[in-house]
Structure 1
């Protein structure tokens, strides 16, 4: 089954989970391969273009966000869920927890929304990504995605969607 546009409900859902799995590798070079060479991004307050800028951004992001996907904590992962889709666009909600290396390794949860636009050419790679996210400080007791937890099985209440 092709995950290139135009999307159906089934292929959009599979595309979201494939993106989730790819991001959870925390391999900037491989993640960047999912985007067109001339891709444009807005990630919070950063405006980026091209896979070289995306790769460098991801290197720096994952240097700051510790234990987000650490080998000792294989359950610490990003979770993405399909929010809406059309033939060439997908909107997702996401959540992940990490320790902030710029803030004394405090645990934080990032909540956010992404809007993805796909190209007709380039095998259906993502042409545009816009991300809005907020980080909320949490204590160890407030974590959802602790050791041994399957992030896809965690119940996330409507108040967090």
Structure 2
């Protein structure tokens, strides 16, 4: 069980979104993957894969490349066993170039509260380090 469980209310959807943000900011692939069903289906940009092991492998590759990763998620909509979020994260590559990645995710949950489907669309924008906004605690996400 991974509370809160569907069907979601505004309060429980907000709790689920914050839990996801907190987990992703650990950059711990095993911890993040534990929130998904064993057969979870993911679409992330142009990659589609299934299963917790594939999630761990994907996140390990992702965070090996995305240095200084900081993420913020914001509830967009919810109904029944589904939640939609918008998000931004900032990171820098090996050359020191900073990026802000903007995206939307659609989540579908099993009855036990584990996520069984994640669809993510993401765009990257090069930024100067001085343009970073996601360096500390909670922030309001700027509109791109």
- The superposition leaves residues 47-75 of structure 1 with CA deviations (integer Å, 9 ceiling, x where unpaired) of 0100000100000000000011xxxxxxx
- The superposition leaves residues 85-130 of structure 1 with CA deviations (integer Å, 9 ceiling, x where unpaired) of 00100000001110023xx22000000000000012xx21000000
More strand by share: 2
1:134 aligns with 123
1:23 aligns with 24
The alignment covers a number of residue pairs equal to 142
**Per-residue deviation, 1:156:** 3.0
What is the TM-score of this pair, normalised by structure 2? 0.94
1:65 aligns with 66
The two structures, once aligned, show a CA RMSD in angstroms of 1.1
What is the TM-score of this pair, normalised by structure 1? 0.85
**Per-residue deviation, 1:28:** 0.5
User: Which one of the candidate residues 111, 117, 120 is aligned to 2:108?
Assistant: 117
